[in-house]
């Protein structure tokens, strides 16, 4: 029994000795913590599209380029009334208003009253017994008006032929402060400049409800000298006026 214990003790000493020797011969590496990496270099310039100018340096500060602000850059409602303008500048007493196509400087309406729609929008000065003056499409028109809207009536197209064929013309008296026109189903028909003298041999009549793009009723005329212009149209609904209309003083 004593010999067994002695053998075990010797074996334990030998195992410990071998483990110590092996530990000394096996290399052990440790990860060394190096110095911290330097921070990113400072931003030296800014890349951008054509809406900006400069590169963000003191010599070339970043800014908005001329013409760099367009529809995409403007929020709805961002352009207020003080930003609006119409060139050239106005004459004394004129006001900035909508002429049916663009903002334009206009003379203040004068007369015995004015026609206003159901939303309070001014249709134009009232004149005569049932007329209104309105600037549209670059002209000043004198048109019939009623509480239900612009007056509607017949349109007569004049022709140099006797059977209402070939080119359509609209008569225009010229030499007037206002331009005349005829309205059918909300469309204004009028003669455009330059006016010319023709010999009318027939006229074509379009009634309310007719399709003006189709031939109308044809009536022959005795050869008649007539001052006319080529036909143009204007959609009165684009004015945004809402009947009923009424007269204000």
Please check whether residue 28 lies inside any domain of the structure.
no
Q: Which of 64, 92, 110 is the last residue of a domain?
A: 110
What Cα–Cα distance (Å) separates residue 228 from each residue in 85, 104, 169? 36, 28, 6
Same domain, 89 and 159: no
Same domain, 129 and 243: yes
pLDDT at 15: 47
- Between 9-18, 84-93, 202-211, 224-233, the lowest mean confidence (pLDDT) is in 9-18
Nearest to 235 by CA among 170, 188, 190: 188
Structural domain boundaries enclosing 86: 81-110
Does the pLDDT of residue 226 top 80, yes or no? yes
Same domain, 240 and 152: yes
Same domain, 147 and 223: yes
Same domain, 162 and 235: yes
Query: Which of 205-235 are b and which e, b meaning 16 or more Cβ less than 10 Å from the residue's Cβ?
Result: ebeeebebeeebebeeeeeeebbbbebeebe
Same domain, 170 and 213: yes
Q: What is the pTM of this model?
A: 0.57
pLDDT confidence tier of residue 13, bands split at 50, 70 and 90: very low
Same domain, 164 and 230: yes
Q: How many CB atoms lie within 10 A of CB 142?
A: 19
Same domain, 142 and 157: yes
Count of domains for the chain: 2
pLDDT at 23: 45
- Between 25-34, 104-113, 128-137, the lowest mean confidence (pLDDT) is in 25-34
Same domain, 207 and 106: no
Same domain, 98 and 116: no
Same domain, 97 and 150: no
């Amino acid at each position: 029994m004593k010999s067994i214990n002695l053998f075990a003790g010797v074996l334990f000493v030998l195992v410990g000795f071998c483990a110590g020797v092996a530990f000394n011969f096996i290399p052990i590496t440790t990860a060394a913590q190096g110095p911290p990496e330097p921070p990113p270099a400072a931003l030296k310039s800014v890349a951008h599209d054509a809406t900006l100018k400069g590169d963000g340096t003191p010599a070339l500060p970043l800014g908005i380029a001329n013409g760099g602000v367009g529809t995409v850059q403007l929020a709805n409602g961002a352009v207020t009334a003080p930003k609006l303008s119409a060139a050239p500048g106005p004459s004394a007493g004129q006001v900035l208003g909508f002429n049916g196509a663009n903002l334009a400087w206009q003379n203040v309406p004068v007369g015995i009253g004015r026609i206003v729609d159901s939303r309070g929008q001014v249709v134009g000065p009232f004149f005569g017994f049932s007329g209104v003056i309105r600037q549209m499409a670059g002209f000043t028109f004198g048109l019939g008006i009623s509480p239900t809207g612009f007056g509607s009536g017949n349109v007569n197209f004049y022709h140099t032929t006797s059977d209402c064929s070939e080119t359509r013309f609209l008569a225009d008296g010229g030499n007037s402060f206002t331009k005349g026109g005829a309205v059918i189903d909300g469309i204004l028909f009028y003669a455009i400049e330059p006016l010319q003298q023709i010999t009318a041999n027939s006229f074509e009549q379009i009634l309310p409800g007719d399709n003006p793009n189709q031939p109308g009723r044809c009536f022959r005329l005795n050869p008649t000298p007539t001052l006319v212009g080529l036909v143009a149209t204007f959609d009165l609904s684009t004015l945004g006026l809402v009947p009923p209309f009424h007269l204000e003083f």
